């Protein structure tokens, strides 16, 4: 999985999940992956910086089968690695 982000001027946070047909051929599978990622983001929404646009790009069907706690951990690591969580007062 990867994370693409950008600051927005709308004043609220937007999140999108992209799952290609190459990852999961059936729409049912792609939608299940999207729902799992959206739910993990929803439960941890307080931990991500606000007023940003986030796009989570899924590259593997494994996301559908990994335990939910592991999925939350992976999403948290993506946000941390992306350096989105910086202190604006310090630069």
Tokens encoding 38: 């959206």
Query: pLDDT digits over 4-25, tens only?
Result: 988 889 988 999 999 999 999 9
Share of the chain above pLDDT 90, in %: 60
The pTM score is 0.84
Average pLDDT of span 47-55: 86
What fold is seen in the domain 2-75? Ribosomal Protein S5; domain 2 (3.30.230)
**How far is 24 from 59, CA to CA, in rounded Å?**
9
- Picking from 16-25, 33-42, 77-86, which range would have the lowest pLDDT averaged per residue? 77-86
* Backbone φ, ψ for residue 11 (5° rounding): 90, 5
**How far is 18 from 58, CA to CA, in rounded Å?**
6
């Amino acid at each position: 999985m990867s994370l693409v982000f950008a600051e927005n001027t709308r004043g609220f946070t937007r999140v999108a999940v992209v799952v290609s047909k190459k990852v999961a051929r059936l729409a049912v599978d792609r939608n299940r992956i999207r729902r799992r990622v959206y739910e993990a983001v929803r439960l941890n929404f307080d931990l991500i910086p606000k007023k940003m646009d986030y796009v989570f790009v899924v590259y593997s069907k494994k996301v559908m089968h990994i335990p939910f706690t592991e999925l939350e951990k992976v999403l948290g690591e993506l946000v941390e690695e992306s350096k989105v969580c910086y202190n604006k007062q310090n630069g």
